[in-house]
Structure 1
Amino acid sequence: MGKIFGILVLLGVPLSVVGSLLHWPTMLMFVIYCITIIALSSYMGRATESLAIVAGPRIGGLLNATFGNAVELIISIFALQAGLIEVVLASLTGSVLGNLLLVAGLSFFLGGIKFKRQVFNEHDARHNSGLLMFAVIVAFVIPEIFSMGMNESDTLTLSIGISIVLIALYLAALFFKLVTHRGVYAGNKENSETAHEEEPEWSKGKAILILLLATAAVAYVSESLVHTFETVGETLGWSELFIGVIIVAIVGNAAEHASAIIMAVKNKMDVAVEIAVGSTLQIAMFVAPVLVLLSLLFPEPMPLVFTVPELISMASAVLLAIIISNDGETNWFEGLTLLAAYAIMGIGFYLL
């Protein structure tokens, strides 16, 4: 599989540059850009997996989520610059749904087929549950409710205030996990022993270098990808909402998708759950508020106000993920339940 992605990167990056300069057909370039970003994301996933073996499941999962979300952040910044605010908000929704339902669902399902019962750190699961409830249900629903009686200026001010609070709490959560309470809640022994036995694919220096180079290449391709959205939507009859929720979210989070599934199949559930849930928290508590603040630099600022279908979908995904993961163990049927929820929501967004 690694060789296939290597070939795709070697072909995709030059084709992206040449096709952009020679103005090849938009639909063709859309496919090339998407495949190239997914192939580059696989290298990001492999690099962070190597770092996870060295640094441990928490830091490894955080690194994977951070560099995976870097792709999403880069695409969103270019979309904001192009004035595609609906696409950005939809892609944030898609990231939450994709990580909690698609990534976690596939991880639990494929891991559960190989192992009848998989366990992970239930203390981390409960800690993350509280943050998920706060980030998605409190911080996303409240602006929608309050903005109903506000003008645009006040709505934007409310969004800025909430964004600052979210970023502060996210940094505090990292400090809690990685500094003050690091090692207080022991992880799954099985996973820890497996991690110690496994050798990283790449050295620490090589993994960091590959991460930086892949992120830079993704930044270049992402800028071109954003300019194809309007034509692709008109050609295929896709709405901006569907492009953001499904297409941008899947392409933007390809690194986490691959890494979490690989970890689950290897029975490293602490890392798999940390990637899926940690990435969701990072999107909701860091990426979304950072985009709100960055949008102030562009002609059209972005308030943190989602549509009702987006809010209900995210709240449902959070509640379902919490109910399934709070006991610290999972199986293939719970994974299938999450995938079924994602399929239902995907159909709904397609038909909107």
Structure 2
Amino acid sequence: MNKVFMLMTFIGVPLSVIGSLMHWPSTLLFVIYCLTIIALASYMGRATESLAIVAGPRIGGLLNATFGNAVELIISIFALREGLVGVVLASLTGSVLGNLLLVAGLSFFIGGLKYKRQTFNVFDARHNSGLLMFAVILAFVIPEVFSFEMDSDETLGLSIGVAIILMTLYLAALFFKLVTHRGVYQSAENAESQHEEEPEWSKGKAILILLLATLAVAYVSENLVHTFETVAEQFGWTELFIGVIIVAIVGNAAEHASAVIMAYKNKMDVAVEIAFGSTLQVAMFVAPLLVLVSLMFETKMPLVFTMPELISMATAALLTIIISNDGETNWFEGLTLLAAYVIMGIGFFLL
């Protein structure tokens, strides 16, 4: 599989450059860009896996989520510059749904096919559940509800306030997990298995590959944004479907691959940290940051989602919290999350 991704990268990056310079058809370029980003994301996943072995599951999962979300952040900034606020909000929705239902669901399902019962740190699961309740169900709902009684300027002002609070709490959560309470809630099983595996790449090489892959993704992502409108017209897709499904899957390809691999290796602490950590980073850091970044562009982005987006994220968060709060999982629970994702995907496609 690694050879396939290597071939896709060495072919896809030059084709992306040549295609954009020669103005190939948008549909063809859309496919090339998406496949190239997925191939580059595999390198980001392998690099962060190496760093996870060296630094531990929490920091490894955080690094994987951060560099994986860097792809989506780059795509979203370019989309904001083009005034595609609907696509950005939809991609944020898709990222939350994708991580909670698709990534976690696939991880639980694939891992559960190999192991009858898989466990992970229940204290981390409960900590993440509280933050999910706050970020997705509280902080996203409040601007939506209050926007009915406010004009656009007041709604934007509320969004900026909520964005600053979310980012502050997210940084405080990282400080809690990685500094003041690092190792306090670490399971004995995880402490024993942390140094069992040798990393594929050294720390320096892994960081270098992460940086190079992110730069390449930034270039391809900028070109990908310009194909959205044409592709939507040709296939009859809405901006909502492109954002929720297509952009979210492509933008989170690194997390998808890494989390499933970790679950297959029965490293559920890392897999869960990737899925949940990435969701929290999107909801509490990426989305608020995009609200603030949008102030530099002509079209501003308030933190107000459509009702289908909001209800989908809230129900996905509640379902994931209920399934994961006991600190163990199996293939059927993974299948339940995947089924929920498919139902929502059909809804967004037909909407």
The match for 2:72 is 72
**1:6 aligned partner:** 6
TM normalised by structure 1 equals 0.99
Unaligned runs of 5+ in 2: none
CA 1:108/1:150 → structure 2, altered by over 3 Å: closer, same or farther? Answer: same
Which residue of 2 is the match for residue 243 of structure 1? 242
Distance in structure 2 (CA, Å) of the matches to 1:23 and 1:154: 42
SS at match of 1:300: coil
Q: Distance in 1 between matches of 2:187 and 2:268?
A: 10
Partner residue of 1:104? 104
Cα shift readout 1:258-278 (whole Å, capped 9, x = no counterpart)? 000000000000000000000
Find out whether 1:298 has 2:266 as its counterpart: no
- What is the one-letter code of the residue matched to 2:2? G
Secondary structure of the residue that 1:305 maps to in structure 2? Answer: coil
Alpha-carbon separation, structure 1, partners of 2:321 and 2:137: 13
- Partners of 2:160 and 2:55 lie apart in 1 by 34
Deviation at 1:194, TM superposition (A): 3.5
1:195 Cα deviation after fit: 3.3
Structure 1: distance between partners of 2:260 and 2:166: 28
- Deviation at 1:320? 0.2
1:55 aligns with 2:55: yes
For 2:208 and 2:195, the matched residues in 1 are separated by 23
Match of 1:287 in 2: 286
> Which residue matches 1:194?
193
Task: Report Cα offsets for 1:152-180 as digits up to 9, x if no partner.
Answer: 00000000000000000000000000000
Q: Does 1:312 align with 2:311?
A: yes
Q: Moved runs in structure 1, 4+ residues, more than 3 A?
A: 191-195
Q: Match for residue 134 of structure 2? A: 134
- Matching residue's letter, 2:169: L
Question: Unaligned stretches of 5+ in structure 1?
Answer: none
- What's the CA shift string for 1:95-135, capped at 9, x where partnerless? 00000000000000000000000000000000000000000
1:98-247 equivalence runs, <5 A? 98-187=98-187, 189=189, 191-247=190-246
For 1:200 and 1:188, locate their aligned partners in 2 and report how far apart those are by CA, in whole Å. Answer: 21
Q: Distance in 2 between matches of 1:188 and 1:65?
A: 24
Q: Is the 8 A contact 1:69 1:283 kept in 2?
A: yes
Cα pair distance change 1:332/1:188, threshold 3 Å: farther
Q: Give the drift of 1:192.
A: 4.0
- Counterpart residue type for residue 4 of structure 1: V
Looking at structure 1, the residues matched to 175 and 43 of structure 2 have their Cα atoms a distance apart, in angstroms, of 28
In structure 2, the partner of 1:41 is: 41
Note if contact 1:120-1:188 (Cα within 8 Å) is conserved in structure 2.
no
Q: Distance in 2 between matches of 1:56 and 1:195?
A: 6
| 2:92 corresponding residue in structure 1 | 92
Question: Would the alpha carbon gap of residues 22 and 95 (structure 1) be closer, same or farther in structure 2, given more than 3 Å must change?
Answer: same
User: Secondary structure of 1:196's partner?
Assistant: coil
* Distance of 1:134 and 1:146 partners within structure 2: 17
Q: Where does residue 328 of structure 2 map in the other structure?
A: 329
In the alignment, residue 95 of structure 1 is paired with which amino acid?
S
SS at match of 1:197: coil
Deviation at 1:193, TM superposition (A): 3.4
The CA distance in 1 between the partners of 2:198 and 2:104, in whole Å, is: 25
Matched AA of 2:244: V
Query: What is the CA–CA distance in structure 1 between the aligned matches of 2:195 and 2:311, rounded to whole Å?
Result: 42
CA distance in 2, matches of 1:248, 1:82: 15
Moved more, 191-200 or 260-269: 191-200
Instruction: Please give the per-residue CA displacement for 1:266-309, whole angstroms capped at 9, x wherever unaligned.
Output: 00000000000000000000000000000000001100000000
Cα distance in 1 for partners of 2:103, 2:134 equals: 21
**Whole-angstrom CA distance in 2 between matches of 1:99 and 1:40:** 19
- Secondary structure of the 2:195 match is helix
* Count of paired positions: 351
Identical pairs, percent: 81
CA distance in 2, matches of 1:226, 1:203: 34
CA distance in 2 between counterparts of 1:25 and 1:160 reads 39
Instruction: Give 1:186 shift.
Output: 1.6
TM-score by length of 2: 0.99
Instruction: Work out whether 1:346 is the aligned partner of 2:345.
Output: yes
| TM-fit CA distance, 1:188 | 5.3
8 Å Cα contact 1:188/1:270 also seen in 2: no
> How many angstroms apart in 2 are the aligned matches of 1:154 and 1:52?
43
Question: Would the aligned equivalents of 1:51 and 1:60 in 2 still touch at CA under 8 Å?
Answer: yes
* Equivalence for 1:21: 21
